[in-house]
A and B are shown apart, each in its own frame.
Chain A
Amino acid sequence: GNSVTQMEGPVTLSEEAFLTINCTYTATGYPSLFWYVQYPGEGLQLLLKATKADDKGSNKGFEATYRKETTSFHLEKGSVQVSDSAVYFCALTPTGGGNKLTFGTGTQLKVEL
């Protein structure tokens, strides 16, 4: 079956540090890949997505590139802010359409001054 593996948190960084949150997946074919963000006490918000190999999704300074050869979709940001503190979820939907999401367990990010 499909699965998503994320690095465990919490990840604690100082403001303006570089962020990487690793995400790898197991799925047949070419799934679509997503990063969602969850702020405390809230639901999930779509951060970015990529639907085919070598696509780069980007939003609010965050980026992730769909790497088919390494089955990865790592999230990066060049300079984090305190307001980026949240839980980040990597997720996929299967090849050929359909909208059932498979989520990773989430990575908590804490950004300190």
Chain B
Amino acid sequence: ILNVEQSPQSLHVQEGDSTNFTCSFPSSNFYALHWYRWETAKSPEALFVMTLNGDEKKKGRISATLNTKEGYSYLYIKGSQPEDSATYLCAYGSSNTGKLIFGQGTTLQVKP
């Protein structure tokens, strides 16, 4: 059974704090690791797709790193803002069919 674990399950921070989440996935048969941002009542929105060990991606204040050998990825948010409040999902692709296995997500609440 392929398992994707995310931690913490939820996080409450103050505006301006920097924060990071972890995604653990099987290190075998790795194809891709996706990060999605999911706001309440909206659709999941892709943040990053990473495929190579050591990949680092950045979009504004959000960045992600990938270690395929040990099976983990970190998502960092620098200077959190209330609009960053959402659930952050990671998803592991283990085949070339595009099938993704999602973690349970980390729910972030940023207080003004």
Question: Do A and B associate with each other?
Answer: no
